[in-house]
Amino acid sequence: MKFGGTSVASADDIKRAARRIVAARESGKRVVAVLSARGKTTDELVNMAYEISDAPHEREMDMLLSVGERISCALCAMAIHDMGYNAVSLTGSQAGIVTDSVHTKARILEVRADRIRSALDEDKIVLVAGFQGVSGDSRDVTTLGRGGSDTTAVALAAALDASVCEIYTDVEGVFSADPRICPSARKLDVVSFEEMLEMSASGAGVLQHRSVEYARNHGVRIHCRSSFDDTPGTLVVAEDESMEQPMVTAVTHTTNEARVTITGVADEPGIAGRIFGALADANVNVDMIIQNEPVAGDRKADMSFTVSRDELRTATQVIEGLAIGDSVTADENIGKVSIVGAGMKSHPGVAAKVFQTLGDLGINIEMISTSPIKISCVIASDRVPDAVRALHEAFDLGADAVKTEDPTGVHRPTVRS
């Protein structure tokens, strides 16, 4: 069971989480719970660091950030003790989460869960601080990147061979669009790993992208649900023949990307390799890339790509440093809308419908990218809400299109290798 920041924010929230954990224990289950930092704690810790230093030392940043999750776990263990149950809180390191040494965005290399197992054997409820681990090399505390408690939970579920990884959050599950801008959005009962990966990569914020990757690689079933009531949420599971495949499952969006355009790039082998090699060396993640083969006599091309807005400065500096092309410009007023659905693989005309829908609204499409189960369009950021609503409507996503036999999870789709 994993509880997000809003589910452990106040003392009452912690007690509510404790009651849920104890209820699961009482129903005969052995429970490991991963907790996030309370409310805005991690943001506050980040701010504290920047009050002291413009470039906080990364090892010390992780020492600082890992504290938030430890507070939640200790407090929740106290609440569980008061309810007459035995609980033990563990740091990521104590729980055996071994990572690489990349501070503030470490990756889990191994989970040595023996300490958790023996605590469970002693009939204890185990609380693990999310979002953190210990470097196998330096033995320093590391953190897993923002939202990383989801990955802690999935990694523990995999290591312990748990029947399910329940992610408790402040929404009812995964939705067909962001309900804050699309009132007809509907909670989805089941989503496949592949769809969820595309959704979290294109703006759905419910689950950390890496946690979904980890779940897919290890076949961990995720049940994403509300910590405030008992209604079943969304199951994220391996695709299975019995699963209905709607053509489109969800509309996602982001407004936190920016575009860099380089004009007058020479049409020669090796140029793109230099540009994106330099960006990779600077740890900049590139999303969409567009380049046309030039047709004009001078054989010069324009190239555009998108990056997350907080990496825009680094990206433009890197490109300017390369002195490739005539000019480098940045556009921060872009947004991206995407439609995701496993069924579009076998349905022609989906892209046409997306483009027509946007065209009918007078929305100009500035960039397009596709995968077998996703179509993304870059548009002006102020048109994103209209685009999301129109696409949701055009593909009929508000209707009760997808029904599953048993959203609570008794039905276990087989894991395909």
| Residue ranges that bind ligand ASP, judged by CB under 6 A | 5, 36-37, 42, 68, 130-131, 146-150
The CB-of-232 to Mg ion minimum distance in angstroms stands at 20
Cα(181)–Cα(173) distance, integer angstroms: 16
**CA angle 39–127–67, rounded 5-degree value:** 45
In the complex with ligand ASP, the residue whose CB is nearer, 151 or 338, is 151
In the complex with Mg ion, the residue whose CB is nearer, 144 or 358, is 144
In the complex with Mg ion, the residue whose CB is nearer, 147 or 233, is 147
* 349 contact partners, CB below 8 Å, separation of at least 6: none
Helix 209-218 and helix 193-201, axial crossing angle in degrees, nearest 10 = 160
Tally of CB atoms within 10 A around 27: 8
Instruction: Please report where in the chains the tokens 């091309």 appear, as a residue.
Output: 301
Q: Does 148 bind Mg ion (CB under 5 A)?
A: no
* 364 contact partners, CB below 8 Å, separation of at least 6: 379, 380
Q: Does 68 bind Mg ion (CB under 5 A)?
A: no
**Among 96, 133, 147, 407, which residue interacts with Mg ion (rule: CB under 5 A)?**
147
The CB-of-37 to Mg ion minimum distance in angstroms stands at 10
Which does residue 407 bind out of ligand ASP, Mg ion, none, counting CB within 5 to 8 angstroms by kind? none
In the complex with ligand ASP, the residue whose CB is nearer, 147 or 335, is 147
Q: Does 173 bind Mg ion (CB under 5 A)?
A: no
The CB-of-256 to ligand ASP minimum distance in angstroms stands at 15
Which does residue 68 bind out of Mg ion, ligand ASP, none, counting CB within 5 to 8 angstroms by kind? ligand ASP
Q: Which amino acid is at 307?
A: V
Going from the C-alpha of 287 to that of each of 19, 30, 307, the distances in angstroms are 42, 41, 6
Tally of CB atoms within 10 A around 171: 20
Residue nearest to Mg ion (CB): 147
**2-21: contacts with Mg ion (CB under 5 A):** 4
- Closest by CA position to 207, among listed 248, 166, 245, 244: 166
In the complex with ligand ASP, the residue whose CB is nearer, 167 or 375, is 167
Question: Which residues lie near Mg ion (CB under 5 A)?
Answer: 4, 147
